[in-house]
Structure 1
């Protein structure tokens, strides 16, 4: 009888620990989602002037052929306020996207090792980031459709409040998702490369440069590693995703009716080179700042900085 009571108590304690772990996991993913929303929304908002220039360089390269001349043309023809066109769609859209991207990435990175036990770390990083990005871009697409039009068409709309109704009225629900496929083509490779590069960069920095375990480093040192790995990841991802970014801008501004027509009009070489300098100027610092803010939010909530698997997965000796 006493043994049965002890077993029931032990079972109850195990169930309690399991519920606590589930609650802890839910809280962890919630913090990651909120951190992703705040970091992505804020960093993309700050770079709105560069984004306005980038979109106009993609849509009208003959008129906006360089960064300095492009800013000068925008300022003279449309005023200083033109540099902040689309800020609301950018802040809200990339905030929602960032929440889905970071929160779901952490979730899938913990889920997939249990399902795909024989796959290496890089494949898990690729699959986790791709899975998260699919949902993140579905959330972003309506905001992006309004943002690109507002930035490249001076008399289209002022922002989200009048842009959303206008797109729906003229093109219906399909108008919001016209560029979803090229958006996936742009963001999926970028996200897969970015997250995988970040994870491997973190490992390399701790092992080869810092030569200490993350746990033995101060929070300031850990955030420094995050910034260095984040910049590396952003630079590599930009080179991969530039062709699709040009196609997205062309489709949303009706410079082409489909992807093949956009590729033909832009030119194969221009897909890789057009607006690349301004994108590198935008994306490198943005990704770095994004990772820094994201990990800062995690640190402020008592969580470790990003990089690597959770202890449960590490103990499974996932092959390198």
Structure 2
């Protein structure tokens, strides 16, 4: 099958749509993961779900959801467009991209999305979730919360944790895209040469990519959450100090807190995002033959 590349606008639209759908469908797992990563008493995912449903009802599991949907749409759009851009720049003379170059393209895509989309949305989402567990929450939703965070902390307030987010997103995208691209090429080259993959196989490959991503990047996710919590300014000088305190005070296993809900989300996320993306690209005619460099 001849190498192909995605049209930028089609890639942006397909990625943003896939990201928004994925964020809404998997948000309760993100809520539980984030709650479990805050400092203080450890709570199991089931305990968090039970207490939230008891105190806030089903809507409690969607605290901060709007921030993630907006941010995830922007993130996924930027991610796919930037990955396609870096992939095209790193392609060989035949338009093909090796696994190491795909890893580098994914790293670049992750860094880009961290700066332009992920850090602000993740910071706001984390603060909304942290605030929601208080007896008297101070934020009344996405818009009010964003205004208050900026008013109290300035624009840097929504960019707290930029470094760990860049590290996490760079690693996330590098691992996820490389795993997905490698498995996709393998399946297309063996089981279905020259044929488009059905949605079930795309979902499965995306799910495996999510599984690999979770275990390899979990410590960065925990540090990111702590740096974006409401108490971060009083507890941590920077990301390295945060990592040091977690390691020395809570033990190395604390870096993998929230693995189960994050695993559930990223396995589903990988399947949903890549499946929706591939479908929209195919329906809209968003691919053209790659131009050899």
Relative to the length of structure 2, the TM-score reads 0.86
Structure 2 residues without counterparts, runs of 5 or longer? none
Number of residue equivalences: 277
1:14-53 equivalent positions in 2, closer than 5 A: 28-53=7-32
CA distance in 2, matches of 1:262, 1:156: 25
- Shift, 1:222, TM fit: 3.6
1:225-240 equivalent positions in 2, closer than 5 A: 225-240=201-216
- Shift, 1:36, TM fit: 0.5
Q: Which residue of the other structure, out of 74, 84, 87, is the alignment partner of 1:96?
A: 74
- Shift, 1:240, TM fit: 1.2
CA distance in 2, matches of 1:33, 1:165: 28
> Is the 8 Å Cα contact of residues 43 and 286 (structure 1) preserved in structure 2?
yes
- Shift, 1:310, TM fit: 5.1
Matched, 1:251 2:231: no
Report the equivalent of 2:157. 175
CA distance in 1, matches of 2:126, 2:256: 20
CA distance in 2, matches of 1:196, 1:170: 40
CA distance in 2, matches of 1:271, 1:38: 34
- Shift, 1:28, TM fit: 1.2
Deviations 1:132-157 (A, max 9, x none): 22221112211211110001112131
The 3-state SS of whatever aligns with 2:7 is helix
The 3-state SS of whatever aligns with 2:278 is helix
Relative to the length of structure 1, the TM-score reads 0.80
- Shift, 1:168, TM fit: 0.8
CA distance in 1, matches of 2:131, 2:253: 22
Report the equivalent of 1:121. 98
The higher radius of gyration belongs to 1
Deviations 1:75-129 (A, max 9, x none): 2233332111111100000110110000111122112236x99x97122212211
Report the equivalent of 1:139. 116
CA distance in 1, matches of 2:21, 2:74: 11
Q: Which residue of the other structure, out of 249, 257, 263, is the alignment partner of 1:274?
A: 257
The 3-state SS of whatever aligns with 1:158 is coil
Residues 120 and 78 of structure 1: CA distance in aligned 2, closer, same or farther (over 3 Å):
closer
CA distance in 2, matches of 1:226, 1:261: 40
CA distance in 1, matches of 2:13, 2:154: 31
Report the equivalent of 1:130. 107
- Shift, 1:259, TM fit: 1.5
CA distance in 2, matches of 1:130, 1:246: 19
Deviations 1:38-92 (A, max 9, x none): 10121012222121111110014625x2121110011223333211111110000
- Shift, 1:271, TM fit: 4.3
Structure 1 residues without counterparts, runs of 5 or longer? 1-24
Q: Which residue of the other structure, out of 37, 45, 48, is the alignment partner of 1:67?
A: 45
Which structure has more RCO (C-alpha within 8 Å, separation ≥ 6)? 2
The 3-state SS of whatever aligns with 2:91 is helix
